[in-house]
Amino acid sequence: MNTLLRRSLSLALVTALAGALAAPTVSAQDGLARRMADRQAKKTQEQAAQYPNATRHSPEASASPKGIKLLKEMQGLYEKEDWAGVIAKAEEVAALPAANAYDKSFAYSMAGNAAANLDDQNKAIEYFSKAIAADGLDNNSHYAVMYNLVVMQYQQEKYPEALATLERFLSETKTDKPEHLSLKASLLSSMERNEEAAALWQQLAEQKPDDKRLLLNAAAALQAADKFDEAVKILEKAYQRGLLTESRELRALYSGYMNAGKWAEAQKVIEDGVAKGILQPGPDLARDYQVLAQNAYFNDDLPLAIELYRRAAPMAADGEAYLNLAKVLDVAGKKAEAKDAAKQALERGVKKPEDAKRILSR
């Protein structure tokens, strides 16, 4: 995947599940549990639906009378960060003959979180999948688990599976939140479906025109799809709006100009970046100046070639830029200046010192 598309994905652990048991059903004799259930039921009712347009009917989240004790024990283990204990208890809950859908979904969700905390991503994927299949959680928790599953599959580079899970998530929730669509675009890019990824990045950029990350991702996806002209247009618009403020961003633009043969535009961007301090002196900038200088030489613009090689030479990693400068100066009839440049080339080191010595011998 292109580096512009790389980004850190953190697992959105289901804190709603980890924090408290949701509205369990208990026997009338268990007064303490009854009060806990009442408080949690009220809290659950007050919680806003995160996916109000979801097609899934949100079931009543209720634990079985036999499962509630084990679920409470599992919560205690989770709070103590006893991840292995959480997983063992979850398996115990799921194995109960009387375990209902909520018991299993809750237990498997907690086990998935625990497995993730143990860096066992494959087990986390297994448990999150089982939690979803049990289908016993309220919509907020159910879809939080499903999104966790997408992220875990993505991190394990199970891209087709992750995309399928995400497509189900988007279809059922009817969400169009940028973070969800951004993940889809990243998945498409990881699967080398770059044109689809670029279209989605551009759609998101229309919603958030000042988010240059979206624009850069769109441009990177278009480059990966060999749509270089379209990529340059996106970067060009971002540049004109003052959004390209880092050296790598400017290099993406002027490299695109160079590939398109727009040498004057490339030089303008470089000079602007230098003037603003975005592009700092160094071997990278020296190399870019040399590319411009070489093009100027091939187009018989010796004064421009000399000027650009003069800029490149002092910051280059070796003496090659000085040697090229010496050769152009020699062709231009500036023998004394050519010899000075040849001397500097030898001092810095070149692959073919005989070329520099030939200029000095004349």
Q: What is the full per-residue pLDDT of the chain (362 aa) written as tens digits?
A: 333 332 223 333 333 333 333 322 222 233 333 344 444 444 544 468 899 999 999 998 789 988 999 999 999 999 999 999 999 999 999 999 999 999 999 999 999 999 999 999 999 999 999 999 999 999 999 999 999 999 999 999 999 999 999 999 999 999 999 999 999 999 999 999 999 999 999 999 998 988 999 999 999 999 999 999 999 999 999 999 999 999 999 999 999 999 999 999 999 999 999 999 999 999 999 999 999 999 999 999 999 999 999 999 999 999 999 999 999 999 999 999 999 999 999 999 999 999 999 999 98
The SS3 assignment for 209 reads coil
Contacts of 252 (CB under 8 A, 6+ apart): 4, 216, 219, 220, 235
Statement: 281-362 belongs to CATH 1.10.150.300: no
Beta strands in 219-273 (DSSP E): none
The domain segmentation of the chain, as residue ranges, is 1-175, 281-362
How many other C-beta atoms can be found within 10 angstroms of the C-beta atom of residue 99?
Answer: 22
Residue pair 201/209 in contact (Cβ under 8 Å)? The answer is: no
Residue pair 51/140 in contact (Cβ under 8 Å)? The answer is: yes
pLDDT computed for residue 339 by the predictor: 97
pLDDT computed for residue 32 by the predictor: 36
**Burial label, 87 (beta-carbon count in 10 A; 0-12, 13-18, 19+):** buried
Global pTM?
0.74
pLDDT computed for residue 60 by the predictor: 82
329-359 CB burial, b ≥16 within 10 A, e <16: bbeeebeebbbbbbbbbbebebeeeebbeeb
pLDDT computed for residue 47 by the predictor: 63
Going 100 to 106 to 107 to 111, the CA torsion angle's sign is positive
Alpha carbon 185 to its chain centroid, in Å, reads: 10
Distance in angstroms (rounded) separating the CA atoms of residues 84 and 67 = 19
Distance in angstroms (rounded) separating the CA atoms of residues 137 and 63 = 10
Distance in angstroms (rounded) separating the CA atoms of residues 260 and 121 = 44
Distance in angstroms (rounded) separating the CA atoms of residues 174 and 278 = 42
pLDDT computed for residue 319 by the predictor: 97
Q: Do domains 1-175 and 281-362 have the same CATH topology?
A: yes
| CATH architecture for segment(s) 1-175 | Alpha Horseshoe (1.25)
Longest dimension (CA), the chain: 108
The SS3 assignment for 333 reads coil
